[in-house]
Chain A
Amino acid sequence: MRRIVCTVLLCGSALPLIAQDCHKILGKQKPDAASIKQAEDRWSQAYTQGRIEYLECLLTPDYVSVSAKGMPRDKAAIVSGAQKNAQQNKGKTDGKSKTLPDLPEPKIQLYGNSAVVQSSLAADPNGKYPAMYSSDVFAFQDGVWRAIYSQHTPVETKE
């Protein structure tokens, strides 16, 4: 019984610590477009550089990303992908590490504590990839933006 009480107390006191750590990791934010933009930029960097602790704080536990092929990937899969990036980038100079392509300025829909970031990528002129629409959905919780959902849609070209 004593062990259970200790476990409960430990868990209870650990939670605010985790929350505090995440506040530190995610940085000071406001429920505005500038903070969302900053979160988006840091997310891209964290994913390519394998900053797992940032992704752990940014993505809610039931975060899902639907890929361009329509396959849902959960938080664990995204974090695992970032870990692989970190391993691949180990020892490489900044110039050689994996980076995401430069995207045009996204459109941000902001409604109170809800936000949708819409991005679009033009088709590759050599036909390597089609045009793509992507979205990230955020919720402002406890003073920070958390990513709750993403989806990618390739645009079909008429033959």
Chain B
Amino acid sequence: MKSLLVLFLVVVCAFPALASDCATVLGPQKADAASLDRVEDAWNEAFNRGNTEYLECLLVPDFVTVTPHGKRDRAWELEHARQNRGSTAAIPHFSGTVFQIEGSTGIAKLYKPASADGQHPATQLADVFTFQDGAWRAVYSQHTFVEGK
């Protein structure tokens, strides 16, 4: 009984510690487009450099990306980020992201033109966020190829 109580106390005490860790990892934010813009950049960098600690905090447990090739869940995102650890390759940056904020819901929308080598078609991308406990959390992403471009 005593060990159960100790275990319960450890678990209960650990939760706020985890939450405050994520607040530190994600950094101070506001429910505005400027913060969301910084989060998008940080996400891009975390993925391309394998910073899974950042992604663990950013992505909600049931985060999913829908692409023309199928669905990718949070575990996929973390695993592929992990493979980028130690990478020094240039991180691709795309300008022209449009931010839409409706209270605690935010969307980052981007039209990505086709790559010059013809390998990647033009794509419409959207990342959906919710503002929780002082930080933007990524909930959902979707990619759609643009026909004829």
- Which residues from chain A sit less than 8 Å from chain B, CB to CB? 60, 62, 64, 66-72, 109, 111-114, 116, 118, 133, 135, 137-141, 146, 148-149, 151-156
- Which residues from chain B sit less than 8 Å from chain A, CB to CB? 60, 62, 64, 66-71, 100, 102-105, 107, 109, 122-124, 126, 128-132, 137, 139-140, 142-149
Q: Is the CB of B146 within 8 A of A71?
A: yes
* A113–B139 alpha-carbon span in the complex (Å): 13
Give 12 new A-B contacts, CB below 8 A, not counting A70-B124, A133-B66, A153-B143.
A66-B144, A109-B62, A113-B104, A114-B104, A133-B142, A135-B66, A138-B105, A139-B102, A139-B103, A141-B103, A149-B109, A149-B128
Q: Is the CB of A112 within 8 A of B130?
A: yes
Q: Which residues of A contact B100 (CB under 8 A)?
A: 62, 148-149
Q: Is the interface of B mostly helix, strand, loop or mixed?
A: strand
Q: Is the CB of B139 within 8 A of A68?
A: no
Nearest CB in chain A to that of B145: its residue: A70
Q: Is the CB of A137 within 8 A of B107?
A: yes
A76 to chain B, nearest CB (A): 17
Q: Which residues of B contact A149 (CB under 8 A)?
A: 100, 107, 109, 126, 128
